[in-house]
A and B are shown apart, each in its own frame.
Chain A
Amino acid sequence: MNARRLVSPLVTLALVLILADVAWHFFSWAIWHAVWTLPENASHAPNTDLCRAALGHGACWPVIKEKFRFILFGFYPYDEQWRPALVILCFVVLFGLSLAPRWWRPSLLLVWVVAFALIGVLMWGGVLGLAFVAEDQWGGLPITLILATLGLAAAFPLAILVALARRAEGLPVIRLLAVAYVELIRGVPLISLLFMSSVMLPLFLPPAWDIDKLIRAQLAFVLFAGAYLAEVVRAGLAALPRGQYEAAAALGLSYAQSTRLIILPQALRQVIPMLVNTFIGFFKDTSLVLIIGIFDLMTTGRTATLEPAWQGFGNEVYLLLAAIYFAFCFIMARISRTLERRLAAPHRNIEEPA
Chain B
Amino acid sequence: MNDRAETAIVFEDVHKWYGKVHVLRGLSLTVARGERLVICGPSGSGKSTMIRCINRLERHEKGRILVENTELSDEPRALAAIRREVGMVFQSFNLFPHLSVLDNCTLAPIRVRGLARADAEARAMEYLKRVRIPEQARKYPPQLSGGQQQRVAIARALCMQPKIMLFDEPTSALDPEMVREVLDVMIELAETGMTMLCVTHEMGFARRVADRVLFMDQGEIVESGPPQDIFDRPRAARLRVFLDQILHHG
Residues in A lying within 8 Å of B, measured CB to CB: 241, 243-244, 246-254, 257, 261-262, 265-266, 269, 345-351, 353-354
Q: Are B111 and A346 in contact (CB under 8 A)?
A: no
Enumerate chain B residues within 8 angstroms of A247, measured Cβ to Cβ.
Answer: 88, 90, 94-96
Contact check, B142 vs A250: say whether CB atoms are below 8 A apart.
no
Task: In the A-B complex, list the 5 residue pairs whose CB atoms are closest, starting with the nearest.
Answer: A247-B94, A243-B94, A346-B140, A251-B108, A252-B83
The yes or no answer to B84 lying at the interface (CB within 8 A) is: yes
Beyond known contacts A246-B90, A251-B87: 18 more, CB 8 A cutoff: A243-B94, A246-B94, A247-B96, A249-B55, A250-B83, A251-B83, A251-B157, A252-B84, A252-B160, A253-B108, A253-B112, A254-B80, A257-B112, A266-B98, A346-B139, A348-B142, A354-B133, A354-B135
For B97, list chain A residues within 8 Å (CB): 266, 345-346
Contact B136 A354 (CB under 8 A): yes
Q: Is B60 located at the chain interface by the 8 A CB criterion?
A: no
- Is B87 in contact with A250, judged by CB distance below 8 angstroms? yes
Chain B residue nearest in CB terms to A246: B57
Q: How far is the CA of A42 from the CA of B135 in the complex (A)?
A: 84
Q: How far apart are B214's CB and chain A's nearest CB, in angstroms?
A: 21
Question: Contact flags (1/0) for B82-122 with A, using CB distance below 8 Å?
Answer: 01101110101111111000000001100110000000000
Q: Nearest-CB distance from A21 to chain B (Å)?
A: 50
* Interface presence of B212 (CB below 8 A): no
Bound: A48/B136 CA distance, A: 73
Q: A250-B86, A251-B83, A354-B136 are in contact. Are A345 and B98 (CB under 8 A)?
A: yes
What B residues does A244 contact at CB under 8 A? 94, 96
Number of interface residues of B (CB under 8 A): 33
Question: Which of A250, A257, A345, A348 touches B57 (beta carbons < 8 Å)?
Answer: A250
Q: Which residue of B lies closest to A248 (CB)?
A: B96
Q: Quote the shortest CB–CB distance from A181 to chain B (angstroms).
A: 28
A347 engages B94 (CB within 8 Å): no
Q: List 25 A-B contacts (CB under 8 A).
A: A241-B94, A243-B92, A243-B93, A243-B94, A244-B94, A249-B55, A249-B83, A250-B55, A250-B87, A250-B88, A251-B83, A251-B108, A251-B112, A251-B160, A252-B108, A252-B160, A253-B108, A254-B80, A257-B111, A261-B107, A261-B111, A345-B97, A346-B142, A350-B145, A354-B136
Knowing A243-B90, A346-B140, the reply to whether A251 touches B98 (Cβ < 8 A) is no
- Chain A residue numbers with a CB within 8 Å of B157 are 250-251
Q: Is B195 an interface residue when CB atoms closer than 8 A count as contact?
A: no
Candidate in B88, B108, B140, B157 with the most chain A CB atoms within 10 angstroms: B108
A252 vs B87: C-alpha distance when bound (angstroms): 9
B172 on the interface (CB 8 Å rule)?
no
| Cα-based distance from A265 to B133 in the complex (angstroms) | 26
A252 interface neighbour in B112, B136, B143, B148, Cβ under 8 Å? B112
Q: Is B15 an interface residue (CB 8 A)?
A: no
Separation of A247 and B89 alpha carbons in the complex (Å): 8
Assembly CA distance A269 to B96 (angstroms):
14
A253 to B86, CA, bound (A): 12
Q: Mark B128-151, 1 if CB is under 8 A from A, else 0.
A: 000001011001101101011000
Give CA–CA (A269, B136) in the complex, Å: 24
Q: Assess the B145–A269 pair: CB atoms within 8 A.
A: no
The answer to whether the Cβ of B156 comes within 8 Å of any Cβ in the partner chain is yes
B140 contacts across to A, CB distance below 8 A = 345-346
* Chain A residues positioned under 8 Å from B84 (CB to CB): 252
Q: Which residues of A contact B98 (CB under 8 A)?
A: 265-266, 269, 345
Give the docked Cα–Cα distance between A296 and B133 (Å).
59
Q: How far is the CA of A346 from the CA of B88 in the complex (A)?
A: 25
Bound CA–CA A261/B84 (angstroms): 18
Closest Cβ of chain B to A132, distance in Å, is: 48
When the two chains form their complex, are residues B107 and A348 in contact, meaning their CB atoms are under 8 A apart?
no
Bound complex: CA of A139 vs CA of B148, how far in Å? 60
> Closest A-chain residue to B136, C-beta based?
A354
Looking at the assembled complex, report how far the CB atom of B77 sits from the nearest CB atom of chain A, in whole angstroms. 11
Residues of A within 8 A of B156 (CB): 251
Determine which residue in A251, A346, A347 has the highest number of CB atoms from chain B within 10 A of its CB, and name it. Answer: A251
Closest to A170 in B: B74
CA distance A351 to B140 in the complex (A): 13
Query: Which residues on the A side are within 8 Å of B57 (C-beta)?
Result: 246, 249-250
Chain B neighbourhood of A269, CB < 8 A: 98
Q: Which residues of the other chain, B, contact A243 by a CB distance below 8 angstroms? A: 90, 92-94
Contact with A along B40-61 (1 / 0, CB 8 A): 0000000000000001010000
Closest Cβ neighbor of A354 among chain B residues: B135
- What B residues does A253 contact at CB under 8 A? 107-108, 111-112
